[in-house]
Each structure stands twice: as structure tokens, then as C-alpha cells.
């Protein structure tokens, strides 16, 4: 997958003064990246998959919005980092409509993994090649990756991006997202601490 650079501008937000950059992939999907600092050494990095229900509407069924905001705060505190927002990966790659169908199955007792499989999809269909291309655009070959997902670490290493440190990104559970977080730990081997 290739990343074509489009433009950048300043984007001050509640955490600090970021620069927003926009890339397109070969399918024309636009992926923003927020940066802060000179991205030298081994910057903090977050690869965040779009979650319309969480990031935009504040759903309590997941931990996506809190992870997004914690990542921006951590980058601002370090003064050197990048957040890549992948816009083609809603619902672990099944799309928003199918994600809502999976939610309906979860309301019948399915966990997040079983729901995706029941709809005819793999548990996780995401691909992180475009994120590696975006990192290479900035000359980044080594990162301190903010993630709990071992698949992201493996994907970076496969794409020749060295993960020199995994930075935990656990956020608070609530009654609505506890089953989701438990399924990520038990079935997808997401790491704690």
C-alpha cells in the first residue's frame, strides 16, 4: 500500500499544538497524522483505527475514544510523537454498517470476536501497511508504540519499523465495555501494563 502526501497545517487542540498531515492511500482514502516535535530518535507513536461510535459519538461500548485522547496527551507531554488515524479500519476492518450489525449480535450474547465471525468476517481484518508507509515518509524507522495489540507490533516489524518499546495504553473499564476488553485480552491476546 502506498501513501501519497497531500498537505499539512497547524492543529492546536486541548493537549497542545500539533501539526496535522493528510495522506491518501491507493484507494483514495484520506488518513490524517498528527505530529509534534521533530520526530527524532524514537518518537512515541499511536496507530489508531477509526471508531466512529467511540471517537465521535462517545460510545461506552469500547475504549477507543479514551485511548485516542490518552495518546494525544502522552505525545504532547513528551513533545515528540505521531498519531496516525487509519480511516479504512472501522470495526476491525468490516465497516460501520457491519460493526453495528456486530453490536446487535453482542446484545444477544456474542462477544466482539464471535460477532465478527458470525457475520462472515475474520476476528480482525485490519492491515497496518499504510501506517508503516506514513512513518517512513517522516524518516521514522524506530518507534515507542502506544498499543496493547500484539498484531500492531508484529505488523510494524514485518514492515521494517523497529518497535523499541511498547507503551501500555489501558484505560478505565466500565460496565458497557468490560466484555469487549475481556474478549480483546482473552481471544486477541491484548497485553496489559
- Spot the catalytic one: 124, 160, 166, 182: 124
- Are the C-beta atoms of 133 and 1 separated by less than 8 Å? yes
Distance of CA 11 to the CA centre of its chain: 19
126 has catalytic annotation: yes
Q: In whole angstroms, what is the distance from residue 11 CA to residue 16 CA?
A: 9
> Would you call 111 a catalytic residue per the annotation?
no
Walking along the chain (193 residues) 10 residues at a time, the average pLDDT comes out as: 93 98 96 95 95 93 90 97 95 91 91 88 90 97 93 95 90 60 50 54
What's the confidence (pLDDT) of residue 187?
A: 45
Query: Cell 492543529 sits at which residue?
Result: 11
Q: Rounded to whole angstroms, how far apart are CA atoms 153 and 68?
A: 18
Rounded CA-CA distance 104/92 in Å is 16
Active site residue: 46, 63, 92, 126, which one?
Answer: 126
Q: Is 16 exposed, middle or buried (0-12, 13-18, 19+ CB in 10 A)?
A: middle
Amino acid at each position: 500500500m502506498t501513501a501519497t502526501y497531500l498537505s499539512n497545517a497547524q492543529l492546536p487542540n486541548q493537549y497542545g499544538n500539533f501539526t496535522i498531515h493528510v495522506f491518501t492511500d491507493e484507494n483514495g482514502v484520506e488518513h490524517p497524522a498528527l505530529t509534534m516535535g521533530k520526530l527524532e530518535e524514537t518518537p512515541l507513536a499511536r496507530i489508531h483505527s477509526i471508531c466512529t461510535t467511540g471517537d465521535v459519538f462517545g460510545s461506552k461500548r469500547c475504549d477507543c475514544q479514551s485511548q485516542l485522547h490518552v495518546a494525544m496527551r502522552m505525545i504532547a507531554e513528551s513533545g515528540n510523537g505521531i498519531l496516525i488515524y487509519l480511516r479504512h479500519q472501522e470495526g476491525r476492518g468490516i465497516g460501520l454498517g457491519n460493526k453495528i450489525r456486530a453490536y446487535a449480535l453482542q446484545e444477544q450474547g456474542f462477544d466482539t470476536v464471535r460477532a465478527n465471525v458470525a457475520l462472515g468476517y475474520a476476528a480482525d481484518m485490519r492491515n497496518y501497511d499504510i501506517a508503516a508507509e506514513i512513518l517512513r515518509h517522516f524518516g521514522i524507522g524506530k518507534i515507542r508504540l502506544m498499543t496493547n495489540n500484539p498484531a500492531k507490533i508484529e505488523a510494524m516489524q514485518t514492515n521494517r519499523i523497529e518497535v523499541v518499546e511498547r507503551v501500555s495504553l489501558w484505560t478505565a473499564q466500565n460496565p458497557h465495555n468490560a466484555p469487549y476488553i475481556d474478549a480483546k485480552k482473552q481471544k486477541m491476546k491484548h497485553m496489559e501494563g
